[in-house]
Amino acid sequence: MSAAIWWVRHGPTHAKSMVGWSDLPADLSDTAAVARLAAHLPAGAPVVSSDLSRAVATADAIACGRPRLPNDPALREMHFGAWELQSAAELEASDPARARAFWDDPTAVRPPGGESWAELCARVDAAADRLTARGGAVIAVAHFGAILSQVQRAEGTEGPDAFAQRIDTLSVTRLTWDGRAWQAGPINHRP
């Protein structure tokens, strides 16, 4: 069975820190960009989002009469635990050894009280598999890490290599399942 997930990154929060499970709102004041995004997405495809308000508000803004599926906490951003809302400089100052270890190997190293990249990937993989099992197209409004984990999955790259990929706010990344493998593209498209 073929399926496609149209991953949409939520609107900007303007935070300059590590925002994972903190529930910051999205700035959706660029109504022209939101309208272009909504028009670009497949008509009639159901819309699902993470349960964090920045994703929920973005999903509601682009739904435009499309069916709305229940919010899914499995589509959340990476959980940064004690590092939530810290800037890179603050993190380096407060926990330099662990910060270096995390940036060197995010797959295995987790922030205190948070999750590793491998744990994020497993969580989002399971959610993507549930969405794929529906067949057809679905629009999933999520976060940088969640979307990047699926690009990594489709391209078969490793965690640190995947981080080189940009995933801008209000961008679309389409991943297609042909019944055997994921195909990526376009990635980080800005309609």
For residue range 18-64, what is the model confidence (pLDDT) as tens digits? 899 999 999 999 999 999 999 999 999 999 999 999 999 999 999 99
Phi-psi map region of 156: left, alpha, beta (phi>0 left; psi -120 to 50 alpha): left
Give the integer Cα–Cα distance in Å for 72 and 98: 30
Q: Judge whether 168 and 77 are in contact, CB under 8 Å.
A: no
Q: Which CATH class is domain 3-184?
A: alpha beta
| pTM of the full structure | 0.94
pLDDT at 159: 67
Both tokens of 35, joined, read 């309208």
Boundaries of every domain in the chain = 3-184
pLDDT tens per residue across span 91-125:
889 888 988 888 888 888 899 999 999 999 999 99
